[in-house]
Copies of this chain bind each other. A is one copy, B any other.
Amino acid sequence: MPRISTLNPQLVTELTAILDPKRVLTEREHLLTYGFDGTAALQGEVGVVVFPQTTEEVAKIVRYAAQEKIPIVSRGSGTGLSGGSIPQPNAIVLCLVKMDRILELDEKNLTILAEAGAITQKITEKADTVGLLYPPDPGSMKISTIGGNVAENSGGLRGLKYGITRDYVMGMEVVLASGEVVWLGNKCVKDVAGYSMKDVFIGSEGTLGIITKVLLKLVPRPAAKKTMLAMYATMDAAADTVSAIIAAKIIPCTLEFLDRITIKCVEDFAKIGLPLDAEAILFMETDGHPAVIEEQGKQMEEIARRCGATAVQIAANADEANKLATARRSAFSALARVSPTTILEDATVPRSELTKMIRFIQGVATRHNLRIGTFGHMGDGNLHPTFLTDERNHEEMERVEVAMKEIFDYAIELGGTITGEHGVGLAKKKFLPDAIGNASLTLLRQLKRTLDPDGILNPGKIFD
């Protein structure tokens, strides 16, 4: 249960002078939910939550906070999975969900402009109305905000073919730690006038500035999609399939896998007829021109069978595709219901090292007597080892900690990273030095000090 901070009355007076008092929360029952985000076993202490409606209001709050050296934790819908929006005691929690307008859809330039609090799904839907696609599709997109996606540089299921959030950010409005408002980027496909500051703020997890507007790139919506599910008796056969597809010069939009534990949990949960003796299931989608996906679909099926798939199901229509997608989409929910605490990790390795990593995770689970279901993005090496545990069991949590460190160490050894799409936040900051090395860490710290010299923006995150 998050604690409630004792408030400085002067702070509330100042904030209600900037904002309509209805948008300044100080009542205990209103505050509690802002002490959490989507990360298991982490909570913070909340004193006040503000809901600005304009960039100018954000800037005024930041200027006041800068002057008084009060920490600010910005957040959207709070779906983060690394504790990036868990508040520090006495911080102002600045929630951007009331800045949720889509401001412009520019079909000629293939761009969309939105306020940071706009829900990602709404952006996708808006683009879709004119036959365009906003490709990043993080699992949380139905409720997460686009500002949160940009601040975390969110991934999703389509990373292999379409890339990640960073690849679609053409511009942004940011409120700096001083309260100054700056616009970075534009609608030009090419622009090399000076260092790319927008890339500094993308993925900065609220620690360098507060993103208030984003200008995103759109692409034509693919005309068709082919969806299939392949079952395997061994993880190696599934991994061979992925390698053989890439070697055939096919880049599917989705290449997802579930391991045995995840398959069992999904089947228990969704009853869709998954084979409980399968060691791995691949969920594969290719999108594009109908002729191409027809051809690629056939090739992918052949490859899957050649590599030892025990069965391949191909969706004949959108309904069937949706049914197959259920297997992958319900993976996290299915795992989450079997234990009180579900810790969703995202260790990531180069695609070529995936089988080694999965096998290592299974070994870790056995060695430490833990339940770890693994699923994730096989096409881009982004794994989600998911710990099914109970945070009240301190002894087990200690084993989880040890196991996690072993997994991250091995991911790094394989040329990978401690986080593919969830961010560092609070949850992984102790692993960051080993992941990127001291020289890189020094660069990060220098950048933080430069852009936020008093350390008021989301302090205590990313770095220890």
Report chain B residues within 8 Å CB of A292: 288-289, 291-292
Q: Which of B190, B191, B416, B440 contacts A194 (CB 8 A)?
A: B440
Query: Residue A110 at the B interface, CB < 8 A?
Result: yes
Decide yes or no: A106 and B352 within 8 Å by CB, A382-B190, A440-B182 being known contacts: yes
Decide yes or no: A421 and B380 within 8 Å by CB, A108-B351, A109-B352 being known contacts: no
- Closest B residue to A155 using CB positions: B190
Decide yes or no: A436 and B193 within 8 Å by CB, A109-B350, A249-B221 being known contacts: yes
A250 CA / B132 CA spacing, docked (Å): 11
Query: Residue A79 at the B interface, CB < 8 A?
Result: no
Q: Which of A88-96, A159-167, A388-396 contacts B (4 or more CB under 8 A)?
A: A159-167
Query: Residue A192 at the B interface, CB < 8 A?
Result: yes
Query: Residue A125 at the B interface, CB < 8 A?
Result: no
A192, B422: Cβ atoms under 8 Å? Answer: yes
B160, A189: Cβ atoms under 8 Å? Answer: yes
Q: Which of B132, B152, B191, B380 contacts A192 (CB 8 A)?
A: B152
Question: Nearest-CB distance from A371 to chain B (Å)?
Answer: 25
- Closest B residue to A187 using CB positions: B350
A188, B437: Cβ atoms under 8 Å? Answer: no
Q: Number of copies of this chain in the oligomer?
A: 2
CB neighbors of B among A147-181 (8 A): 152-153, 155, 159-160, 163-164, 166-167, 176, 180-181
Report chain B residues within 8 Å CB of A13: none
A189, B382: Cβ atoms under 8 Å? Answer: yes
Question: Nearest-CB distance from A412 to chain B (Å)?
Answer: 9
A193, B417: Cβ atoms under 8 Å? Answer: yes
B108, A352: Cβ atoms under 8 Å? Answer: yes
Decide yes or no: A447 and B450 within 8 Å by CB, A186-B350, A200-B200 being known contacts: yes
Query: Residue A316 at the B interface, CB < 8 A?
Result: no
A191 CA / B377 CA spacing, docked (Å): 13
Report chain B residues within 8 Å CB of A450: 446-447, 449-450
A197, B443: Cβ atoms under 8 Å? Answer: yes
A446 CA / B196 CA spacing, docked (Å): 13
A428 CA / B379 CA spacing, docked (Å): 42
Question: Nearest-CB distance from A185 to chain B (Å)?
Answer: 10
Q: Which of B219, B352, B444 contacts A195 (CB 8 A)?
A: B444
A243, B108: Cβ atoms under 8 Å? Answer: yes
Report chain B residues within 8 Å CB of A281: none
Decide yes or no: A159 and B190 within 8 Å by CB, A180-B439, A440-B197, A450-B450 being known contacts: yes
Query: Residue A348 at the B interface, CB < 8 A?
Result: yes
A421, B190: Cβ atoms under 8 Å? Answer: yes
Report chain B residues within 8 Å CB of A187: 350-352, 415
Q: Which of A350, A380, A422, A449 has the most CB of B within 10 A?
A: A350
Q: Which of B153, B190, B196 contacts A381 (CB 8 A)?
A: B190
Decide yes or no: A164 and B181 within 8 Å by CB, A197-B440, A200-B196 being known contacts: no
Query: Residue A423 at the B interface, CB < 8 A?
Result: yes
- Closest B residue to A167 using CB positions: B167
Q: Which of A202-210, A264-272, A330-338 contacts B (4 or more CB under 8 A)?
A: A202-210
Considering the complex of A and B, which 7 residue pairs feature the smallest CB-CB distances, nearest first? A199-B199, A220-B249, A189-B380, A190-B420, A187-B350, A108-B352, A291-B291
A-B contacts, 24 of them at CB < 8 A, read A107-B247, A109-B351, A155-B190, A163-B167, A166-B196, A167-B167, A176-B439, A180-B439, A182-B437, A182-B443, A183-B440, A186-B415, A189-B379, A190-B380, A192-B203, A193-B417, A195-B200, A195-B208, A196-B200, A197-B443, A197-B444, A220-B249, A447-B447, A449-B450
Known: A186-B350, A288-B289. 16 other contacts (CB 8 A): A108-B247, A109-B352, A155-B192, A163-B167, A188-B380, A188-B415, A188-B416, A188-B417, A190-B417, A191-B419, A194-B441, A194-B444, A196-B203, A197-B447, A219-B251, A291-B292
